[in-house]
Structure 1
Amino acid sequence: MASGFAHMAFPNESPAYREARNQLLGAEIALRRQTEAVAEMRRALPPGGEVPEDYVFERIGADFRPEMVKLSELFGEHSTLLLYSYMFGPERDAPCPGCTHLLDCIDGAARHVPQRAALYAVAKSPIARLAAWAHDRGWNHLKLLSTAGNEYDAHYYGDTGALTPAMRAERGYKDGEVWDEPMLNVFVRDGGTIRHFWGSELVFAPDDPGQDHRGLDFMDPVWGMLDTTPEGRGKEFFPKVNY
């Protein structure tokens, strides 16, 4: 298994600990390989569907005034665009704490990801509200866009509007109710054509017993760090907007 690491030993650990730890290391190596295998499958996806329209978003411009921007303009110099749907619509008094803690982390990543791909968070609230919240939150790198007035959320599962009756029944959602959902979508541009490449559909997959969807854990360092602790994530803990 991980016999190559048999020489490792932390101070005063027991032989039983080292044996169990090496067994765990073997599982961690297998998980690492599985993670890469899944990433290879993702990269090998055939071309996704062409976007139905060049969605128009609202953002804060260089002069700090709201301006309109098209989806095709968001790519900049890149051929890939990541859009994270933030659960902060105008009907909410406060944003989703789960999304907010994730974007706290992504703000740091937003220094680096744009070296390879364009990255934005989108939400249904007016852009002035989103910009004020980002300022209060201290997000200095993450760029936010408003989807107010376009159909992006409805088409790409940034809300529950596109869920099938079967999915609604499975989750106990009432007909006619529409609210925002967390969703990461990746788009690619090839010449003048923009296609959907991948979306975090695991968010909507049936949960395993005792878990939530965990559909975005791959990009969430909070849960990853807690998973290394003896207490784990805990059954009661969930991130808050403020503590």
Structure 2
Amino acid sequence: MASDPVHLAYPNESAGYREARNELLDAEIDLRRRIEHVAALRRALPPGGAPPQDYVFERTDAHGRPEQVKLSELFEDHPTIILYSFMYGPERDLPCNGCTHILDALDGTARHANQVLPLYIVARSPLVRLEAWGRVRGWRFFRFLSAEGNSYTSDYFGNTTGVSDAMRTERGYQPGENWDQPVFNVFTKRDGTVRHSWGTELVYVAEEPGQNHRAVDMVDPLWNLLDMTPEGRGTDWFPKVWYD
């Protein structure tokens, strides 16, 4: 019969603490397995649908000049790209504070991710506005795309205008009321054909009781950090764009 695994022992911990901690450790091991299982399911998805058009975005070229670029051209020599829909549409005076805190953290990650695949930050605001905000925040490694002149954001649910009438009714969205959403979309290019691979549909799934801010948790270090603590992420605090 296999013996119980050897575990850590922190200074002066009680037997009751260790029993509860070992039970939690078993749950953490199970969660680790489930995370990998979900990642495997994501990798095993069949090819998604081709985009309805080869969207034309605006970006800054290598010489700092604005240029038009098609979705199919964003891949460069990579088979996969990720686009994050940034909640900074032209109707907003300031970007979403939730998006801003995520991008504050992801800018450093982008330095490394861009070695593997291009990561783009896209919004409906003009390019100069997006890049100006990036300078204000001190972001150094993002590639911004303006979707000001195309329907990418609504087609791929970076705002609620593309949501079906049935979902609007189910979610209680009011007629004519729309807003942007924090959505990641992954696209692939195989044999010259661009296809959608995966998107963060959890953004549009109703939260269960006691859940908060979990739609893009997989890349959000803030909420995961707070989840390590006895207080957790709570329900009455949310990150701000600026602090005193």
The amino acid across from 1:190 in the alignment is R
Other structure's SS at 1:20 match: helix
2:150 aligned with 1:153, yes or no?
Answer: no
Alpha-carbon separation, structure 1, partners of 2:158 and 2:170: 19
- The change in CA–CA distance for 1:235 and 1:213 in structure 2 (over 3 A counts) is closer
Give the equivalent residue in structure 2 for 1:70. Answer: 70
Where do 1:173-212 residues align within 5 Å? 173-212=173-212
Take 1:5 and 1:24, find their aligned partners in 2: how far apart are those partners? 15
SS at 1:36 equivalent: helix
Give the Cα separation in 1 of the matches to 2:63 and 2:76. Answer: 19
Aligned match of 1:230? 230
SS in structure 2 at match of 1:84: strand
Partner AA of 2:35 in structure 1: T
**More displaced, 109-118 or 132-141?**
109-118
- 1:50 touches 1:193 (CA, 8 Å); kept in 2? yes
AA matched with 1:233: R
Q: Deviations over 1:17-55 (max 9, x none)?
A: 111111100000000000101111111111100111111
Q: Using the alignment, how far apart are the partners of 1:26 and 1:229 within structure 2?
A: 18
Contact conserved, 2:212 with 2:235, CA < 8 A, in 1? no
Q: After superposition, where does 1:124-163 map in structure 2 within 5 Å?
A: 124-163=124-163
Asked if 2 retains the 8 angstrom alpha-carbon contact of 1:203 and 1:213, the reply is: no
* Separation (CA, whole Å) in 2 of partners of 1:53 and 1:104: 31
In the alignment, residue 168 of structure 2 is paired with which amino acid? R
Q: Given the alignment of the two structures, is residue 169 of structure 1 paired with residue 166 of structure 2, yes or no?
A: no
Between the aligned partners of 1:3 and 1:31, the Cα distance in structure 2 is 20
3-state SS of 2:185 partner: strand
Q: Which moved more, 1:83-92 or 1:57-66?
A: 57-66
Conservation of the 8 A alpha-carbon contact between 2:120 and 2:144: yes
TM-score, normalized by length of structure 1? 0.96
CA RMSD after TM alignment: 1.5
Contact kept, 8 Å, 1:206 with 1:213, in 2: the verdict is: no
Note the residue ranges of structure 1 that are not aligned, 5 or more in a row.
none
Q: Which residue of 2 aligns with 1:55?
A: 55
Long gaps (5+) in structure 2: none
> In the aligned structure 2, how far is the partner of 1:5 from the partner of 1:58?
56
2: CA distance, partners of 1:213 / 1:242? 19
Q: Give me the whole-angstrom Cα distance separating, in 2, the residues matched to 1:138 and 1:100.
A: 12
Distance in 1 of aligned mates of 2:42 and 2:6:
31
Q: Comparing 210-219 with 9-18, which one deviates more in the overlay?
A: 210-219
Deviations 1:165-195 (A, max 9, x none): 2221232212233321111000000021000
- TM-fit CA distance, 1:15: 1.0
Tell me the equivalent position of 1:216: 216
Most deviating of 122-131 and 168-177: 168-177
Matched, 1:239 2:230: no
- Give percent identity, aligned residues only: 58
